[in-house]
Amino acid sequence: VTMVDFEFISFERLIEFGLHTAPKHQHSSYSSGIRPNHWVRENQYTVIGQFDFIDCDRLAAGQSCKAICSFYAPKEDEKLFTPGFKWDIGEATKIIGYGKVVSE
């Protein structure tokens, strides 16, 4: 199975985005609108998604905030993103934080 075998769709979720306290990433903070790698452990690939922070302009190491995440992912993956679902957020291959679905 290759990525061309998937049907891709767009969907949004209200999520909690958190950065690890011991940053292993290039930047000391991130601003709203970032498009990190979304590592879903159930899959052997990343999905695309943009974070638009709510009530926060920048997020530093050890902090978390609510955000709207706009995903572009295989249609089959949408069912994973239910309240409570958690995945890793990466900068290239480094895990820098997490995403957790708050509501659909």
In contact, 36 and 51? CB cutoff 8 Å:
yes
Q: Which residues pair with 39 in a beta bridge?
A: 46, 88
Q: Tens-digit pLDDT profile for the chain (104 aa)? A: 566 678 999 999 999 999 988 655 566 788 999 999 999 888 888 899 999 999 899 999 899 999 999 999 999 999 999 999 999 999 888 889 999 999 98
Q: What pLDDT score does 92 carry?
A: 81
Q: Which residues pair with 100 in a beta bridge?
A: 16, 86
Q: What pLDDT score does 25 carry?
A: 54
Q: What pLDDT score does 5 carry?
A: 77
Q: What pLDDT score does 45 carry?
A: 84
Cα 50 → chain centroid: 7
Between the alpha carbon of residue 75 and those of residues 6, 12, 32, 103, the distances in Å are 7, 13, 25, 18
Q: What pLDDT score does 21 carry?
A: 82
Name the pTM for this structure. Answer: 0.87
